[in-house]
Amino acid sequence: MENPYLPYPVRIDKIITETEDRNLKTFRFVFLNPKDEEKFSYTPGQFAELSIAGKGESPIGIASSPTEKGHITFTVNKVGLVTTHLHNMKEGDVMGIRGPLGNWYPWEEMEGKNVVIIGGGFAFTTLRSSIIYMLHPENRSRFKDISVVYGARNPGMLLYKDELAEWEQRDDIHMHITVDGTDDPDWKYNVGFVPTITEQKITSADDAIAIVCGPPIMIKFTQPVLEKVGFSPERIILSLEMRMKCGIGMCGRCNIGDKFVCKDGPVFSLAQLKNMPQEY
């Protein structure tokens, strides 16, 4: 019998400190058994449990794209027991990964449509996965315009800075990078909260689906902006966070009504959420 609780052993291949406060690091993992990489077949929007012997597990969104072969990456905020321990680990260390878990962004529905991606802070991880996935030569033609609004508190708190700069140069993706504030006189991009920049830059909901990931306050104020432009709740897609243990809908703690964020989510449309108890 397959054991859904048993993590695949992995080695930390590379660690990148992402933000100036050093609280966010990206971990690139390689599977110890190459066959496990095939079994770990995922779709952007899914997450996995990072599993550390002696510490426990933490559910984290997958930041790499399935089009990137040979490794998987996660960007991890230092918060609790497991993530703090992970931040102190080094390249070459062995740990576990369990997954992929949960559902994913509605790629079939998004096919042939304009895609609007709105992210805030460190919730940009599965959005990075999605952008890399869509920009891959095999996939790019499956989507129309891709627009991205991504904001952080200040320039030093943005994730994936090199990739953001590279995407800025491309003409097949419209980037709108913003910071809440900055004293950097050379800052080239926007200044303003994500909802404000969204209001300025996203002016059409025609044939479009929006994916929104960020802190609750950002989601709260972005939602009316999108609805005003004409996004119906069915076309606003959100990814939720919740305390989890099993990740497979059994341990009972991550439910919202009769839905489990780990198994039925983490991706829900606003239309779905409007019909669920407000308990998240």
Partner 1 sequence: MTEKIYTKEEWIKALSGLKSFYNIFVPVRDGDFHTFKALDEKKIPDFNFQNTRLSPKSLVYPQSERIFAYTLDEDTPDANIIKESEKDYSPKAVVGIRPCDAHAFQIVRPNFDNPEYQDPWWIQRYESTTLVGLGCNAPGSTCFCTSVGGGPFSEKGLDALLYDLGDTFLIKALTEKGEAFLENAQGGKEADDAALKAGEDLAAKAANKIEQKISIDKLKDKVQTELFDAPFWDDVAFACINCGTCTYLCPTCWCFDIQDEVLEKQGDRIRNWDSCMFPLFTLHGSGHNPRAKKVQRVRQRFMHKLKYYVDKYNNGVQCSGCGRCVRNCPANIDIREVCELMNRL
Q: Which residues bind partner 1 (CB under 8 A)?
A: 1-7, 9, 32, 51-58, 79-80, 83, 93-96, 241-243, 245-246, 248-258, 263, 275-277, 279-280
Which residue's CB is nearer to partner 1, number 185 or number 252?
252
Residue number with CB closer to partner 1 (250 or 271): 250
CB of 143 to partner 1, least distance (A): 29
Least distance CB 209 / partner 1 (angstroms):
25
Query: Given the complex with partner 1, which of 57 and 199 has the nearer CB atom?
Result: 57
> What torsion do the CA atoms of 242, 243, 245, 251 make, to the nearest 10 degrees?
-80
Least separation in angstroms between CB 100 and partner 1: 13
> Alpha-carbon dihedral of residues 176, 179, 181, 184, nearest 10 degrees?
-80
Q: In what order do the strands lie in the sheet with 72-77?
A: 56-61, 47-52, 94-101, 8-17, 24-31, 72-77
Q: Which is nearer to partner 1, 7 or 155 (CB)?
A: 7
Comparing CB distances to partner 1, the nearer of 132 and 256 is 256
Closest contact distance (angstroms) between CB of 172 and partner 1 is 35
DSSP 169-222: H-SSSEEEEEES----TT--SEES-HHHHHHHH----TTEEEEEES-HHHHHHH
Q: What's the CA gap between 106 and 119, in Å, rounded? A: 17
State the nearest-atom distance from the C-beta of 192 to partner 1, in Å: 24
